[in-house]
Chains A and B, each alone.
Chain A
Amino acid sequence: MPIPDALPDTVFYAIAVIYALLIAASVIVAVMKRKQPGAVTEELSRRVTSWWFMITIFSVAIVTNRVVSTVFLGFVTFLAFKEYLSLIPTRRVDRVILLFAYWAIPAQFLFAHLNSYGLFLTFIPVWMFLFLPMAMTLMGKTEGFLRAVGTLSWGLMITVFALSHTAMLLAADKSVAGPAGGAGLLLFLVALTQFNDVAQFTWGRLFGKHKIAPQVSPKKTWEGFLGGLGSTVVGAAIAGPFLTPMPFYYAGVAGAIIAVAGFLGDITISSFKRDLGVKDSGGLIPGHGGILDRVDSLIYAAPVFYHAMHFFVFSGRI
């Protein structure tokens, strides 16, 4: 029986490398925990355990087939959007409209799955953007209207629209997606975004001194940011030729784009949480917080990476 859409071997090799890094991290954290037991190493250890779960779920979802992968990405987006709506103030009168906004998720991911660029790009920023305030107007309650429509539109953009770019990468046409297809591009983006988070955290912990955004994220430092950026550029240059259509030098630039966008996504979500007075967006992932805490970097990295790829690489400009 022929296997439809068989994944290229490079995707499996990349996943093997990720697991090798994970094993290394687990060993290091286990040693740290033995040398200096305490709340800090306990927390690190919880984080690493959660990484095992997340990486395994993600790997299974992307190697199964493209439908499963897209449904998985849509489900993660649903969790992020739900977390967002649960944190912000909402109005009782808008319940049906919120339910309708949830239905934008399957629609948006269907457009992504079909690689229907025009619909994908206009559905939320044009159609939902116009429809939701109209529906709220018809509900007849004007008190709190601006806040309700503003927070809902921003939430839909920052979670559903931004994260749906992951599914759009997955759907990239074979002729432009490179040696590992859409799955390779998705893996490149997600693995490097998360790698950059961990690298920034580690460099920051080891050498961090000069605060980069003290009012929003007091723990973020220039040393962490630049260390993460350097590590991600190197990682991207190595992985790029296997997972993307880019030679190592362009892949390195893509790594830099991912690192900077990821950092901006991280502090943007921090700013949102700080405004609401919460430290974590939820309690779903032990050691990490909620879904939004985990995908915050991806929220910026996914659209920026996708559109950079679309403009420069898929179109053949470079």
Chain B
Amino acid sequence: MKRVLQFLFFLFIVRPVLLVILGMNVRGREHLPEKGPAVLVANHNSHLDTLTLMALFPLKDLHRLRPAAAADYFLANRWLKWFALNIINIIPLARGGVRKNPLADLEAALDRNEILILFPEGSRGEPEQRAEFKRGVAYLAKARPDVPIYPVFMHGLGKALPRGSFILVPFNCDVFAGAAIKWTGDPQSFMGELELQMTELAEQGRFQPWE
């Protein structure tokens, strides 16, 4: 039932909106993983980011995609909670908690061959401005060193639906996917490698200022 609702939501709402109102320009689609376990790592501008990344995959693989999202935000009220858990199929993460291994749920998902979607910037932040990646992704890579990590750079969705706004304004958006990287042996060099990949992807576009 949950899978059917998710399928219908993406087929009749998300995909038409992305296709008609927004319009996606995808580069490097061939880099994206065909099956899990895998981790997508993207910059975060808008609530639309997650839906857009999920829409890049075939509908039949939808249930294998697991966006990690902040529990305190998405489980805050019952409607949002139901939607986040059933339709988006998130893995809720506790922010600033004291649990033993905060990544346990993510590791378990990878062990089930699922594809994780992570936004290491943390929150959406200032739209269309990249923030520094948090290091959690490095510890996940360390825990599962064979799992490929796919950097994805997105631009434009923050203009269409920035943080704090509920009005969707049509803008084309760009999604640039890069080749996968793997655990390098230490967090410092891994984060450096990831940062470098993201910067190279971002430089594929010529973006005008938006302030």
**Bound state CA distance, A278 and B206, in angstroms?**
7
B211 x A282 contact (CB < 8 A): no
- Structural contact, B208 and A95, CB atoms closer than 8 A: no
* Of B46-54, B94-102, B105-113, B166-174, the one touching chain A: B166-174
Q: B44 contacts the other chain (Cβ, under 8 Å)?
A: no
A282 and B23 CA atoms in complex are apart in Å by 10
A99 and B167 contact, CB distance less than 8 A: yes
Q: Which residues of chain A are within 8 angstroms of B173 by Cβ–Cβ distance?
A: 86
Known: A82-B23, A92-B162, A96-B167. A282 touches B208 (CB 8 A): no
> What are 23 inter-chain pairs, A to B, with CB distance below 8 A?
A79-B23, A82-B23, A82-B170, A86-B156, A86-B159, A86-B171, A86-B173, A89-B210, A90-B208, A90-B210, A91-B211, A92-B162, A92-B211, A95-B167, A96-B169, A98-B169, A99-B167, A102-B169, A276-B208, A278-B206, A282-B23, A282-B25, A284-B25
- Indicate the size class of the contact surface on chain A: 20 to 34
Q: Does B165 contact A (CB under 8 A)?
A: yes
Q: Which residue of A lies closest to B205 (CB)?
A: A278
For window 79-137 of A, CB contacts with B under 8 Å fall at 79, 82-83, 85-92, 95-96, 98-99, 102
Chain A hits for B206, CB < 8 A: 276-278
Q: Chain A residues near B25: list those with CB within 8 A.
A: 282-284
Q: Are B171 and A82 in contact (CB under 8 A)?
A: yes
- B58 within 8 Å of A (CB atoms): no
Please give the distance in Å from A294's CB to the nearest CB on chain B. Answer: 15
Nearest chain B CB to A142 CB, angstrom units: 14
- For residue B125, give the distance in angstroms from its CB to the closest CB of chain A: 14
- Least Cβ–Cβ distance between B12 and chain A, in angstroms: 19
**Contact between B172 and A99 (Cβ–Cβ < 8 Å)?**
no
Which of B162, B169, B208 is in CB contact (< 8 Å) with A99?
B169
User: Chain B, interface size: which category?
Assistant: 10 to 19
Give per-residue flags for B15-36: 1 if the beta carbon is below 8 A from chain A beta carbons, else 0.
0000000010101000000000
Q: Are A89 and B162 in contact (CB under 8 A)?
A: no
Question: Which residues on B sit within 8 Å (CB–CB) of A78?
Answer: 170
Interface of B with A (CB < 8 Å)? 23, 25, 27, 127, 156, 159, 162, 165, 167, 169-173, 206, 208-211
Q: Kindly list chain A residues whose C-beta atoms are within 8 Å of the C-beta of B208.
A: 87-90, 276
Contacts of A88 in B (CB 8 A): 208
Chain A, Cβ-Cβ closest to B155? A86
Contact A86 B172 (CB under 8 A): yes
Q: Quick check: B167 and A92 within 8 Å, CB to CB?
A: no
Question: Do the beta carbons of A85 and B171 come within 8 Å of each other?
Answer: yes
In the complex, how many angstroms separate the beta carbon of A274 from the nearest chain B beta carbon?
11
Our pick among A82, A89, A92, A277 for the contact of B172 (Cβ within 8 Å) is A82
Q: Could you list 16 further interchain pairs (A-B, Cβ under 8 angstroms) beyond the known A79-B23, A92-B162? A: A78-B170, A82-B171, A85-B171, A86-B23, A86-B156, A89-B210, A91-B210, A92-B210, A95-B162, A95-B167, A99-B167, A99-B170, A102-B169, A102-B170, A277-B206, A282-B172
**Nearest-neighbor residue (CB-CB) of B210 within chain A:** A90
Distance in angstroms between the alpha carbons of A110 and B134 in the assembled complex? 51
A295 to chain B, nearest CB (A): 15
Pairs of residues from A and B, 3 with the lowest C-beta to C-beta distance, nearest first: A89-B208, A86-B172, A283-B25
C-alpha spacing A220/B209, complex, angstroms: 31
Distance A99 CA – B211 CA, assembled complex (angstroms):
17
Q: Find chain A residues with CB under 8 A from B167 CB.
A: 95-96, 99
Alpha-carbon distance between A87 and B172 when the two chains are bound, in angstroms: 9
Tell me the nearest residue of chain A to B173, going by C-beta: A86
B126 to A, closest residue via Cβ: A92
**B127 neighbours in A (Cβ, 8 Å):** 92
Which chain A residues border B210 with CB–CB below 8 Å? 89-92
B172→A95 contact, CB < 8 A: no
Which residues from chain A contact B23 at a C-beta distance below 8 Å? 79, 82-83, 86, 282, 284
A98: chain B residues within 8 A (beta carbon): 169
- Report how far A88 CA is from B169 CA in the complex, Å: 15
Q: How far is the CB of A133 from chain B (nearest CB, A)?
A: 19
How far apart are the CA atoms of A284 and B23 in the complex, in Å?
8
The residue that B169 contacts in the complex, of A89, A95, A276, A282, with Cβ under 8 A, is A95
In the assembled complex, how far is the CB of residue B14 from the closest CB belonging to chain A, in whole angstroms? Answer: 18
Q: Report Cα–Cα, A95/B210, bound state, in Å.
A: 11
Contact residues in B for A99 (Cβ distance below 8 Å): 167, 169-170
Docked-complex contact A95 and B209, CB < 8 angstroms: no
Min CB distance A256 to B, Å, is 35
